[in-house]
Amino acid sequence: MSVFKDLFRSKPKYVTVRPHKQGDKSEKKEIPGGLWVKCDKCGNILYSKDLDKSLSVCPKCGFHFVIEAKERIAQLIDPGSFEEMDANIQTQDPLGFPDYLQKLYKYQEETSMKDAAITGKGHISGQPVIISVIDFNFMRGSMNTVVGEKIVRAFDRASKEKLPVIVVSGGGGGARMQEGVLSLMQMARTCQAVERHQRNGLLYIAVLTQATMGGVYASFASQADIILAEPGALIGFAGPRIIEQTMKQSLPEGFQTAEYVYKHGHIDRIVARPWLKETLAHLLDWHGR
Amino acid sequence: MANITVLDFEKPIIELEKRIEELKIFAKERNLDLSDEINNLQTRAEKLRRDIYSNLSSWQRIQLVRHPQRPTALELIDLIFDDFFELHGDRLAGDDEALVGGIALLNGEPVTVIAPQKGRDTKENLERNFGLPHPEGYRKAIRLMKQAEKFNRPVITLVDVVGAYPGIAAEERGQGPAIAEAITVMGALKVPTIAVITGEGGSGGALALAVGNRVLMLENAYYSVISPESASIILYRTDSHAQEAAEALKIGSRDLLDMQIIDEIIPEPLGGAHRNPEAMGRLLKESLERNLAILRGLAPDELVSARYERFLAFGKVADLS
Ligand SMILES: [Zn+2]
């Protein structure tokens, strides 16, 4: 329990979260009944209810479970202050890619989201921000025209209203193959939107969570003024398997984890989930003075 | 043009050409007039060449741009520009030979040229890491772009790159952030920028050098978010469906022109750039001059906003509300 105590320096505020879903197979195994969850890292059996209270961080070992975008917003944004933007935009399947729409509709049904990102305006400890969160459950958080467009609109609105932007990236974050080169173009579009926002002297904080890779990391996610990361999050450009195949040698321990990337100078600070809101609130306050 | 590697789909042409040569020798030796037969075969060969090369599938074009004798960036630079002064190093950690850059003269006018560089043979490929840049390459590109802006030089990139190098050291030194920075810097340059996809336009590693006011493409080149082989592995769990994946991904110059991802297709000599590099150089030069003349009419701020608008257009979505 010592890790648990370390993690919760201050008593966490209670937040309402949705029950854990089966969607994330690699990170979370649900035992029938939905009351118990086995921690992937330490193997301990945890009460779902306890896990909800600990913001989906294992109270035994500090492992950060992947959480849905909606849960993230509930954790970070003051209750009742969130106003979602562009909830109803959807891809036009620009390539007419085989089987893509069927797949997309299946994800839409499962997640009740139109695509892999939620954006909106809300308050963090009373301070207005534009926030954008990428969701693992929707095609592994891959970037397509919709995700790109939502990020662009979020930054552009923030530029217009002189607001800071918080981006929580994660879920995998490669460019979505089914929209081909148009997914690739989102790297350019989002970087341009960040640049327009930066030119106005406005603050952009990125929170890199499990996993921020490929096209998302090589565009807007690594272009923030301040880059925070959750403990253990995988962060990088090329996937570890591709690197292993190319190099034909095994990877160093902890390779591409937030801790490893931090050591190599690419992120400002690793922040455990229970302190994330507090940390963001601090930074927003200092930049708002 | 002796000793050019022959691709499978080119074999019927090569066989016919061989028969014509044999017939010519035979006629000369025997002092026979076979000119009718020879002319006939030559007409047939010409038709066959046109049939085969003007109906290439995406996959056949990919084979052409991966052809071992396809002109590399430095060879094209030599053919297009009057002079080229290469500049080295990222001023941080090293000089990446997989990406070259420097100042060149295009019809007497200085421009900055940046290009990933593949090797000609195994030895050079090892030196140049098969044209797969490390972060140092992208940071050299960023340095040269900013230098170009300072001296009001247009930036021309020639892009033939499978992708950014996937390796431990590349990750440790920030491959992702280096690419993001290159995209951002190139996107905001106050000088004309022209990118030419000359061969393989491989994902983020290519886009990092392709945020141009104008994006041009050689006829047989491809530009894709993922290699057809990797897409095949994701879709079919084997790379043997790469041909179908190449079609589905719409990565060829005609599809990309339809989608307005590129502004212009630069035609290649029949059979691909390697069959006539000098002609390829002339066609490239003509296109660069013409496109640069258009951009030179724009003020610095107009160049930036025109480039923003160009890429902003790639966000078409359906609004269901
Ligand atoms: Zn645990």
Under the banding of pLDDT at 50, 70 and 90, the label for residue A32 is low
Minimum Cα–Cα distance from B228: chain A residue: A177
**pLDDT exceeds 60 at position A14:** no
pLDDT, residue B239, reads 87
Distance from CA of B235 to the nearest CA of A (A): 10
Q: Name the token pair of A94.
A: 């620009």
CB within 8 Å: A92 and B317:
yes
B264 CA from centroid of ligand 1 (Å): 55
Minimum Cα–Cα distance from A148: chain B residue: B315
For chain B, which residues score pLDDT lower than 70? 1-2
Q: Name the token pair of B168.
A: 């431990």
Our CA angle for A129, A132, A134, nearest 5°, is: 160
Q: Name the token pair of B209.
A: 């050098």
Q: Which of A189, A222, A243 sits opposite B177 (nearest CB)?
A: A222
**pLDDT tens digit sequence for B289-319:** 999 999 999 999 999 999 999 999 999 999 9
CB within 8 Å: A236 and B184:
no
CA B141 to chain centre: 17
How far apart (Å, rounded) are the C-alpha atoms in residues A68 and A235? 18
| Best residue of A181, A225, A235, A260 to probe chain B, by most B CBs closer than 10 Å | A181
CA distances from B119 to B65, B86, B134 (A): 14, 17, 16
Contact B157, B113 (CB under 8 A): yes
* Lookup result for tokens 């989002």: A190
CB within 8 Å: B177 and A266:
yes
- Dihedral in degrees, nearest 10, Cα atoms B273, B277, B278, B279: -10
Q: Is the ipTM of this complex over 0.85?
A: yes
CB within 8 Å: B317 and A97:
no
How far apart (Å, rounded) are the C-alpha atoms in residues B209 and B202? 11
How far apart (Å, rounded) are the C-alpha atoms in residues A89 and B88? 46
Contact A203, A284 (CB under 8 A): yes
**pLDDT tens digit sequence for A177-222:** 999 999 999 999 999 999 999 999 999 999 999 999 999 999 999 9
B155: helix, coil or strand? strand
* Residue A281 preceded by cis peptide, ω within 30: no
Q: Does an H or E element contain A194, and which?
A: helix A180-199
Rounded to two decimals, the pTM is 0.92
CA distances from A30 to A23, A108, A232, B66, B129 (A): 10, 22, 21, 48, 46
Contacts of B317 in chain A (CB under 8 A): 89-92, 145-146, 149
